[in-house]
Structure 1
Amino acid sequence: MLTYDLALSFFGIAVLLALAPGPDNLFVLMQSAMWGRASGLAVVLGLCTGLIGHTLAVAVGLAAVFAASETAFTVLKLAGALYLLYLAWGAFRAQGRAHSREQPRKSTAGALFRRGIIMNLTNPKVSLFFLAFLPQFTSPARGSVALQTLSLGALFMLATLLVFGMLAWFSGALGERIQKSHTAQRALNRLAGVVFLGLAVKLALSNR
């Protein structure tokens, strides 16, 4: 099992990694700003739930498939890029509706939760990162490597939940004010579309 010192040091590193700018941070920031605190937290919970899949993939060796197979990696990353393009299209459509002063329909918490899961699971680079990162903190001398991997994954999810949760809370508060202004809504939706489009291109062009 994990020692206290090892778990604490791993948690500290995980917090720093969650704070580092990246696609997930931008995703949480834009979704929270567009839909508010509660919706942003639903996205965060979805992203953290997606991490369960990546942790299990490492624990059972499935992540190694994406590291070894160019085809599997490409299929998954293209699926993620297409989903981000779909989100970009939705943001640009919402921008058009805001221009006509028609209020865009707010996504449900369940839809945003699923959006977070899909966003996370369709990024193969997360699995590859876990495959390279988690084993550095495991050792057969401390018992089951699979159980240690699951414990590390849980700590990483906790760190992500805390950091992304705070990001969603503060950006969501700003978003709730922005939603009162049609001009600000148009600008925010346009920005969200550009961000999602950029993330889609970055993911599609990424290498293992």
Structure 2
Amino acid sequence: MWAFILVVLVLFLIPGPAVLLTLTQTARGGLKAGIITGVGIAVGDLLHTVAAVLGLSAILMTSALAFEVIKYLGAAYLIYLGIKSFLEKTKKQEKPVNKKVNTAMSFRQALLIELLNPKTALFFLAFLPQFVVTDGSPVVFQLLTLGLIFVLMSIMYTSLLSFLASSLGNKLFSKESKMSRWQGKLVGTIYIGLGLQLVFQSQK
């Protein structure tokens, strides 16, 4: 268990799509939006864990068609969000920079993005079984426990990122800052970049 926790902590230090998504949502909607986004990502990871336990993720490993369909759906959704953010008009400086972002929408977007990433499904299918003890409790229970620990650690990590990003973002994107004019374009560029990254992912 401790080995698993240590490896997960090391994995968190490597910036990935979840980190970028959390940071962009925090920049757009503030601390609450960032935390809710992290929760959405974590719930997506939990569903991937359940899918791995049930063997559904194995379909993505063996079926090239299923992998490609999910991959392109996820990429299209990310690019759509990116274009939408990129084309948003910046409000004049008399208004606060952080918009009121619908937290339910932040959760749904994060959940969909995480679920539509086939690499995440394959990650859980390959990663979790490495920490299963053969002479311990039932394998299904062990896998679910490991997945739940990963999810809780993920929520704590993304919440910390949101707090730090919110503190920094209030300075960078304050109404006196010129950076505020580029906030939508910056967020849109990150989303589009994540979508293109997903397009070029391979099954192996």
**TM-score for the superposition, normalised by structure 1:** 0.89
Quote the Cα distance in structure 2 between the aligned partners of 1:111 and 1:179: 24
Match of 2:188 in 1: 193
- Unaligned 5+ segments in structure 2 are none
Matched, 1:98 2:94: no
Matched, 1:117 2:111: yes
Quote the Cα distance in structure 2 between the aligned partners of 1:66 and 1:42: 28
**TM-score for the superposition, normalised by structure 2:** 0.91
Q: Percent identity?
A: 33
Matched, 1:180 2:175: yes
Quote the Cα distance in structure 2 between the aligned partners of 1:59 and 1:155: 15
1:77·1:204 contact (CA, 8 Å) conserved in 2? Answer: yes
Change beyond 3 A, Cα 1:24–1:121: same
1:104 positional shift: 8.3
Query: CA deviation digits over 1:137-190, x for unaligned, max 9?
Result: 113321311111100001111221121111111102222341424732222221
Q: Secondary structure at the match of 1:71?
A: helix
**Superposition pairs for residues 57-136 of structure 1, below 5 Å?**
57-94=51-88, 96-98=89-91, 106-136=100-130
Quote the Cα distance in structure 1 between the aligned partners of 2:68 and 2:78: 15
The letter of the residue matching 1:13 is: V
1:193 positional shift: 1.1
RMSD value, Cα: 1.9
Quote the Cα distance in structure 1 between the aligned partners of 2:161 and 2:93: 30
Bigger shift: residues 177-186 or 83-92: 177-186
1:113 positional shift: 1.0
1:81 positional shift: 0.4
Quote the Cα distance in structure 2 between the aligned partners of 1:97 and 1:192: 12
Quote the Cα distance in structure 1 between the aligned partners of 2:92 and 2:12: 35
1:42·1:109 contact (CA, 8 Å) conserved in 2? Answer: yes
The letter of the residue matching 1:191 is: L
2:28·2:99 contact (CA, 8 Å) conserved in 1? Answer: no
The letter of the residue matching 1:185 is: S
- Unaligned 5+ segments in structure 1 are 1-6
